[in-house]
Amino acid sequence: MSHRITGKRQIGEETFWIEVEAPLIAAARRPGQFIILCINSDYSERIPLTIAGADPNKGTIELIWQRMGKTTAELAALNEGDEIANVAGPLGTPTHIDRFGVVVCVGGGIGNAPLLPIATALKQMGNRVISILGARDKSRMILEDRFKEVSDELIVCTDDGSYGRKALVTEPLKEVCGRDSKPGHAFIIGPTPMMKFCCEATRPFGVPTQVSLNTIMIDGTGMCGGCRVEVDGKAKFVCVDGPEFDGHKVNFDLMIKRLGAYKKLELQAYEKYKQHQCRIGLK
Amino acid sequence: MVLRIPPVTQEERTQLLHELSQKQNNSGLKPKERLAIPPQDMPQQDPAVRRSNVSEVAQGYTEEQARIEAMRCLQCRNAPCVQGCPVQINIRDFVGAIAKGEYGKALAIIKESSLLPAVCGRVCPQEVQCQEKCTVGLSLKDVSKAVSIGRLERFVADLDKNGAAAPAVAPTTGKKVAIIGSGPGGIVAAADARRAGHDVTVFEAFHKPGGVMVYGIPEFRLPKAIVRKELETLKKMGVQIITNFIVGRTRTVEQLMKEDGFDAVYIGVGAGLPSFMNIEGESLIGVYSANEYLTRANLMKAYDFGKGADTPIAVSKRVAVVGGGNVAMDSARTALRLGAEKVYLIYRRTEAEMPARVEEVHHAKEEGVEFHLLQNPKRILGDAGSNVTAIECLRYELGEPDASGRRRPVAIPGSEFQMEVDTVIIAIGNLSNPLIRQTTPGLEFNKYGNLVVDEQCRTSMPGVFAGGDIVLGAATVILAMGQGRIAAAAMNEYLAQKQVAGNR
């Protein structure tokens, strides 16, 4: 069963959106879950991507990713009508959606994509949703309009001030946590260092903080253990125990290092790929 | 009459076979004469060469070797070997057929009981099954001199290059069967259910079917082409195989039965949750579960990284593998093939207690894996970048026997020492995967998380059957196949009764 791409857009600097046929996943997925895809069966690697949205009637899911290596570049080179050989999911334990009262959802860069379905579900549950979206610069700010629809309050900031407030997301996050109507829960998804600092920001306020981790994975079903992180001093598997964890207990420093385990090899592969693309005149 | 020295050249073997055949045709071979026939060694790739390639180590018997080896069989009336086989292959008769040169017949005999002879001939632990019971081995007081049943099984299976015609399928029953997991148990259960005329669908979580035979057991021990051939046979029989389908996530067991119309389900998902040791440093970069290491190397073909394959794997100089089973041997030998200069195998008991097949231990040693016995890791050390730099071990001695009957290893206090390594592979077994458990209320599991089944592999849910590692904990390909067969028989019976009840 192949998966046809039914829509594709570049939505930001190095950031791409596709809608792809995956009827079973579209029907089964819940906020917080992800898929693993493998472009071709023989030699491609398996990469986890969070599900940004789904339309069960059309039988499609939305994926958003950043081009940063060979596989993500290959994926970005596909177009509407092309097929992805393997899409498996939905994986991971869905987000626990509850009535927390006020919730703060913090997205960083590409993290806005998996955060959107969570914010949407929280809103539907009757929470007052405050969303804080951050990006390096204006060109990398994604999904702002869709967050507007589901947020009672939206704060947008960029590192360089090219759009919205010039601040890191931790700044408005601290302000929100310091308000009289303190958030009952924080949901944070973004680059690992950003999640680390956001957790430090919420900790003094005692706001329970959920993070969604995106580690290196192969099978996504608990079989390989490559995705393990240290939570509260114990090894946990992101694919089956997560991807969401109590951010105040995650060992982010170790996780950041583990994410870089293959950096050198990945760079080599990407360089080789880019050179090849140049030679055959695609770029 | 018989050459005293094992014949090594093709000419000598031809000569020996000629002599034996003549004798056989004239007066028949007496047991004493059969026992005097030298056991045939398996031709194999030179250790120094094979440690840098992924081609199969054991090359398979020549026709002469197979017939000579088969003539060693005493054709015991009570055939004790058959009792040693988890799927009760009629070993005596198929070996007898090979001795006569009737290879097609031999294969047909095997296929009455086993669907995957090319696989089992390679990976079964024969020395603790059929060959352990072999009268020849017992008479010669050496199990390694038993008739090499596994090699003979492989010989006839490999002759069948194009794959036999798909087994006959009974007229359709209109019943739908779901097989969860495409490993050895699932393949057998699927085939048996399909033969009974049911509409069979196999669900596989990975993007390629075959289970442990494609992600776990390395190419050099079980070429993937063999597994592919067996799966092709399934497809020819009309079995549908759906990959990228995670039961418990994509659809639950309940949905399959209540909404998708499956009348019976076989759960053969394997163990699938690697055990770690819970020691310091296990999350450092360079520490792998054997599952991850082998999956990267086998399924994802990391040995071709940079030459097509996109999945990387550690580029290691010194590797420590922890464990003493087949998976540990596979990991150690894979590390060598990926270019490691030194591979240490660390095991807390002695070689006698190792659960690995004797042949795999032997091959690992031949290839240069260093065995560190009566040692066990205490912690793994890393540098500032969290990369593994060394492993610290304790020395052990054997104490009183434990529940398993094996003498319990006891740490010697103060015996810590360190070995410089950059990669550590933990191969100490698996726990049971929680996905089915978490998503299937009504299924009974034991305290280890294994599915509880009765003798017919029936679970606590009507119409749901299970077998293999999810039931047994860590077992073997052949035991999983045995359970797949039992479960399919029970499932076919269940469906037949359901049919009768439905017709009333």
Q: Which domains does chain A have, with CATH numbers?
A: 3-91 (2.40.30.10), 102-216+225-259 (3.40.50.80)
Owning domain of residue B306: 276-428
Q: Tens digits of per-residue pLDDT, A26-76?
A: 999 999 999 999 998 889 999 999 999 999 999 999 999 999 999 999 999
Contact assessment for residue A78 and residue A37, using Cβ atoms and an 8 Å cutoff: no
How many domains is chain B partitioned into structurally? 3
What CATH number does residue B245 fall under? 3.50.50.60
Inside any domain, residue B313: yes
Inside any domain, residue B1: no
Inside any domain, residue B167: no
Q: Which chain A positions have a beta carbon within 8 Å of B309's beta carbon?
A: 43, 45
Which pLDDT belongs to residue B163? 62
Task: Give the CA diameter of chain B.
Answer: 77
pLDDT at A191 over 60: yes
Which pLDDT belongs to residue B4? 43
Q: Which chain A positions have a beta carbon within 8 Å of B251's beta carbon?
A: 24, 28
Inside any domain, residue B190: yes
Contact B434 A258 (CB under 8 A): no
Looking at the structure, tell me whether residues B294 and B422 fall in a common domain: yes
Looking at the structure, tell me whether residues B57 and B77 fall in a common domain: yes
Looking at the structure, tell me whether residues B75 and B132 fall in a common domain: yes
Contact B295 A225 (CB under 8 A): no
Inside any domain, residue B250: yes
**Of B134, B138, B118, which is closest to residue B58 (Cα–Cα)?**
B118
Looking at the structure, tell me whether residues B64 and B93 fall in a common domain: yes
Contact A262 B304 (CB under 8 A): no
Q: Name which of A44, A225, A257 is nearest B291 (Cβ-Cβ).
A: A225
What letter represents residue B387's amino acid?
A: N
**Ranges of chain B with pLDDT below 70:** 1-7, 162-165, 502-504
Contact A87 B244 (CB under 8 A): yes
Looking at the structure, tell me whether residues B180 and B217 fall in a common domain: yes
Looking at the structure, tell me whether residues B200 and B224 fall in a common domain: yes
Inside any domain, residue B164: no
Which residue's structure tokens are 């060394």? B390
DSSP string, A185-235: EEEEES-HHHHHHHHHHHGGGT--EEEE-----SSSSSSS-TTEEEETTEE
Q: Classify residue A77 by its DSSP letter.
A: T
**Of B345, B334, B350, B353, which is closest to residue B377 (Cα–Cα)?**
B345
The tokens of B368 are what?
């240069």
Which pLDDT belongs to residue B405? 81
Inside any domain, residue B170: no
Residue A224 touches chain B, beta carbons under 8 Å: yes
Which pLDDT belongs to residue B404? 77
pLDDT at A201 over 70: yes
pLDDT at A271 over 50: yes
Looking at the structure, tell me whether residues B324 and B215 fall in a common domain: no
Looking at the structure, tell me whether residues B365 and B319 fall in a common domain: yes
E-strand ranges in B133-195 read 176-180
Last residue of a domain, one of B409, B428, B447: B428
Helix, strand, coil tally for chain A in percent (to 5)? 35, 30, 35
Contact B433 A222 (CB under 8 A): yes
Looking at the structure, tell me whether residues B325 and B370 fall in a common domain: yes
Contact A219 B205 (CB under 8 A): yes
Residue A26 touches chain B, beta carbons under 8 Å: no
As a whole number of angstroms, the distance between CA B195 and CA B166 comes to 10
The A residues from 117 to 146 touching B (CB cutoff 8 Å) are none
Q: Name which of A25, A218, A269 is nearest B296 (Cβ-Cβ).
A: A218
Contact A219 B434 (CB under 8 A): no
Q: Name which of B278, B292, B434 is nearest A225 (Cβ-Cβ).
A: B292
Q: Which chain A positions have a beta carbon within 8 Å of B288's beta carbon?
A: 225-226
Inside any domain, residue B168: no
Q: Return mean pLDDT, chain A.
A: 94
Q: Tens digits of per-residue pLDDT, B250-264?
A: 999 999 999 999 999
Q: Name which of B208, B215, B386 is nearest A254 (Cβ-Cβ).
A: B386
Looking at the structure, tell me whether residues B292 and B389 fall in a common domain: yes
Contact B273 A222 (CB under 8 A): yes
Rounded mean pLDDT, A9-38: 95
Last residue of a domain, one of B411, B428, B445: B428
Residue A276 touches chain B, beta carbons under 8 Å: no
**Of B360, B371, B185, B380, which is closest to residue B268 (Cα–Cα)?**
B185
Looking at the structure, tell me whether residues B370 and B410 fall in a common domain: yes
Instruction: Please state, in angstroms and as integers, the Cα–Cα distance from residue B99 to each residue in A169, B147, B155, B360, following that order.
Output: 78, 12, 12, 27
Q: Tens digits of per-residue pLDDT, B271-292?
A: 889 999 999 999 999 999 999 9
Mutate one of B180, B203, B204, B207 to test the A interface: name it (highest A CB count within 10 A): B207
Distance from CA of B367 to the nearest CA of A (A): 26
Looking at the structure, tell me whether residues B230 and B266 fall in a common domain: yes
What CATH number does residue B71 fall under? 1.10.1060.10
Which pLDDT belongs to residue B1? 40
Last residue of a domain, one of B104, B128, B159: B159
Contact A46 B311 (CB under 8 A): yes
